[in-house]
Each structure stands twice: as structure tokens, then as C-alpha cells.
Chain A
């Protein structure tokens, strides 16, 4: 079992937005997550790093309620999220995710309908949450695309006609359209060229500062994590080997694997 920040001495009595305790998941005989715990406070950005196959994305999918782990609990400190969220049925999960959890995938094909308009993709999130008025759908989709710094003159273009950076902005607009409490990001800048990557990072940083959105971001790129994250969790073979403040993990990593990871950065 691992400790969370809640087990350390506390000064300010705020409650974490997200608390996951001892989450374990296996695919057949292969363990993907072993007793993973994490707590994220409102407005915090948690970065998750680790080698391929370390369980980062599996953990993120559990937080997005796409996966049900074999054991463990997951709570969100929100009025419409009672008890262990892993116990919710499919419909309740879908409604909670539509309202409170946004996600941006590395592969836009997972998050977008590639042949529908970009504004329609964003509006779809609003429709799931129950909005039916066309003018409101259109206005909210436009506002979310604008906040994601998407060029509005292209809002009716389908994502398949857009560049990778633009597709990520549509995913981001869809994810924030309902002002979720939690934003999950799975390798959001991987595969983008450096200048587009800087634009997406800047947009995320601005959204985090202006809206105080709580974020969990998974990335192989330590520079991305260093730019965005307040805290970092290092995973290896399905386990958390180290977690701490971002500057501490990068400047004074304690675990042998964390040291190897930090020293391997170009």
C-alpha cells in the first residue's frame, strides 16, 4: 500500500478533488497497476511519467471511468459524485464524465468524430449532458473553441481536414466545453512539432491559471511535465516508485529509476 498526501502532516485543511487509493488492475495474468494511490487538490496539476508499459495511461483511463480496476477506490469531492466511482453503472459514469471530467487523448481519432464538424464535436459533449437548444449549443461550442485558441473561421471544418495541432485544440475545446472539475491529458503534445507543442502547452497553462482546472497529465516528455505540473508521480511496472513536487523530483530524485529517467533527459 502506498501513502497519499493525506497521510502527511497538513497545514491547510482543503480536501483533495481526486483521491484514488490502492488501484490495481491486471490484463489476464499481466498486472498493469499495483496498488496505485494518488490525491490531487483543486487547481493542482499532477504529471505522471514513466516508461512505456508502466501503467500511466491505464491509470488515466481508470480515472476517466473507461476501465474498471480489479481493486481500489476512486472518489471526487463533488456534490454529484457520491462514493466509490468505480461502483457506478455505465449510464451514471457517462453522465458524470460528461459533466465533470474532460479528456484529451494522444490520438485524436479516440476523442473526435473525424468526419463531423469541429463545432459539432464540441456540441456533442453538450448534448450528452442534456443541452438541446441549438443557439446555446452553437454559442457554447464557439466559446470553448475560442478558449482553446482554435481559429473560429474553421469551426465547421471536420477534424480530418485539420492539422494535428488543430485536432488537439478541438479535443481540448470538447473537454472543457462544460467547464469540468477535472481535465485528463494523455500525451497531448506527442507527435506535434515543437512550435505547435509550445502553443498547446501555453493554452493549457493559461486555462489552468485562469480557470484553476485540476489536471492530470501523462507524458513521456519530461519538458512538458516540467512546464505544466505542480507535482510529479513516477511509475514503473504498474507501481508508483516516487512522487513529489515537480522541482524536487527533477532536481533530487530519490528512487534509482527516477534518477535514471531524469538523467536520461537530453
Chain B
């Protein structure tokens, strides 16, 4: 197995300037992840599970530590990587799956699902065919495929979102409660797809409300609940706002 991720002493807090305080999310987290491994993040509500996923994806900026990602182009620290490289890796090697769809006005469900394939260079007709295959696999009704998902129910939007997020095999997949509120058949399709991607070597880190859904896939677990309840807030004097990544 090859190393995909080496997380070292990673910490994240949120500075709330209007209150003059900082809230710790998680502190000094370290782990490694190999290709094809599935890591489950555990912990009570507020332990920082989703925050850790977003920090790994760079939607949140880490306060300190390193996220050494072994991409197909070499190793890079995602904490300090240039934005352009993070965008590039998100398009090609790192996926993030949530339960929420980011729909765009006047873009059909099938076009939205096909988009990651087209960005990766696949011919539009071929990408559309595969998008339809995955919409069917996740149980989206056929007459909704050419419609705009902004008007869909929450459950249908979630299925479109999963089809889009999982259509392109990635090197690293971050899963933030993707099974929440899915019906049984869509949940089964999701687990089948995750097993398929895992067997192809995709490394996964997931937060699941019901870990039993993916019990067969889990290789290791990390519990983010601290041994002692940490100091929740700090004064701005101890502020750890990142100032080194600008423009």
C-alpha cells in the first residue's frame, strides 16, 4: 500500500472577531492514511469531526500543523499550498461528499453530475451517458434528469449530489455524513460505490451518524473526543489567526 495522507499535529480554532474570542475545534491531531484505507472519525457532537474534514479539504484554514498529501505529482502540504494547486487537486484527486447539493440556476441534474468528468477531459456525450448511469444507480427518477435540481426535494437533491461527487474516482475521498436521510436503496447504492472505489485504491475518511451503514468498509477509527474537556475559548491575546496565506 502507498501512503496518501500524513497529518501531523493539526490544530484548528475559530477566531470570532466580533466577540473577541477564539473557539478551539480540535488540537494536535496526527494520523496517516494509506491507499484503499477507510478511516472513521468518531466523537461526540462538537468534537470537530466535520471541521477536521473541512480543514483537510482547505475549506477551513488550519491554525497549525501539516497535511502532507501524496499526490500523483508529488508531496504537498495542503495547509500552505497555493490556492491554484488546491483547486487543481480538488478537480483531479481529492473529493468531498456532503449531504448538501450546491445547485446552480439553469443547470440540469444530468449536466451537474457530468461536469466533473468533462472538467477531467471526457467528451461531453460520454460524460452525459455516465452521469445518467449514476443518476439511475442512485435512484433519481428519469424524468428529473433534464430538470433543474434547485426545485427538487431534499432527498432527490442529495442523490444528485452523491452521483456528482462520486462519478470521478479520486485518490482521497472525504465523506461528511453522506448517508443522512437517504432511503434504503440509495444508501445501498452509495455503499456499493464506496466499496468499488476503495477496491480501486481510493483512501477515505468519513463521518457517519450511523457508522453501522459502512461497518464492512471501516479499517480504522479515530476518536476526536478529547480526554478532558478543553478550554473552550481563549482571549484574543492567544489568537492564532493565520496571516501567512494571502492574495
Q: Could you tell me if B71 and A259 are in contact, using CB atoms closer than 8 angstroms?
A: no
Q: Please measure, in the bound complex, the distance between the C-alpha atom of A5 and the C-alpha atom of B15, giving whole angstroms.
A: 24
A sample of 20 cross-chain residue pairs with beta-carbon separation below 8 angstroms, ordered by A number, consists of A2-B247, A3-B245, A3-B246, A4-B247, A5-B83, A8-B81, A9-B81, A11-B82, A16-B84, A202-B105, A209-B115, A209-B119, A231-B83, A233-B247, A240-B247, A245-B87, A251-B59, A251-B60, A252-B61, A260-B18
The residues of A that contact B18 with a CB separation of less than 8 Å are 256, 259-260, 263
User: Contacting chain A: which of B1-9, B72-80, B160-168, B176-184?
Assistant: B72-80
B76 touches which one: A9, A202, A230, A248 (CB < 8 A)?
A9
- Check A202/B106 contact, CB under 8 A, given A9-B80, A12-B84: yes
Q: Which residue of B lies closest to A5 (CB)?
A: B82
The residues in B between 103 and 127 inclusive whose CB is less than 8 angstroms from any CB of A are 104-107, 115, 118-119
Residue among A199, A230, A243, A247 with most chain B CB within 10 A: A247
B246 touches which one: A44, A198, A242, A252 (CB < 8 A)?
A242
- CB 8 Å contact bits of A224-250 with B (1 = contact, 0 = none): 000100110100000010111101100
A contact residues, total (Cβ < 8 Å): 42
A133 CB-CB contact with B under 8 Å: no
Q: Could you tell me if B245 and A202 are in contact, using CB atoms closer than 8 angstroms?
A: no
The residues of B that contact A3 with a CB separation of less than 8 Å are 244-247
Q: Which residues of B contact A (CB under 8 A)?
A: 14-18, 54, 58-61, 71, 73-74, 76-77, 80-89, 104-107, 115, 118-119, 241-247
Q: Please measure, in the bound complex, the distance between the C-alpha atom of A14 and the C-alpha atom of B85, giving whole angstroms.
A: 10
- Check A2/B246 contact, CB under 8 A, given A205-B104, A251-B54, A252-B61: yes
Q: Please measure, in the bound complex, the distance between the C-alpha atom of A4 and the C-alpha atom of B104, giving whole angstroms.
A: 30
A173 CB-CB contact with B under 8 Å: no
Q: Please measure, in the bound complex, the distance between the C-alpha atom of A260 and the C-alpha atom of B17, giving whole angstroms.
A: 9
The residues of A that contact B73 with a CB separation of less than 8 Å are 11-12
Q: Which residues of A contact B (CB under 8 A)?
A: 2-6, 8-12, 14, 16, 37-39, 41, 44, 198-199, 201-202, 205, 209, 227, 230-231, 233, 240, 242-245, 247-248, 251-252, 254-256, 259-260, 263
Q: Could you tell me if A201 and B105 are in contact, using CB atoms closer than 8 angstroms?
A: yes
Known A-B contacts: A198-B105, A259-B16. Give 12 more (CB < 8 A): A3-B247, A5-B82, A6-B82, A9-B82, A11-B74, A37-B247, A202-B107, A227-B105, A244-B245, A248-B59, A252-B61, A254-B15
The residues of A that contact B86 with a CB separation of less than 8 Å are 245
The residues of A that contact B85 with a CB separation of less than 8 Å are 10-12
The residues of B that contact A227 with a CB separation of less than 8 Å are 104-105
Q: Could you tell me if B246 and A248 are in contact, using CB atoms closer than 8 angstroms?
A: no
B14 touches which one: A14, A209, A252 (CB < 8 A)?
A252
Q: Could you tell me if B105 and A11 are in contact, using CB atoms closer than 8 angstroms?
A: no
The residues of A that contact B241 with a CB separation of less than 8 Å are 254
The residues of B that contact A14 with a CB separation of less than 8 Å are 84
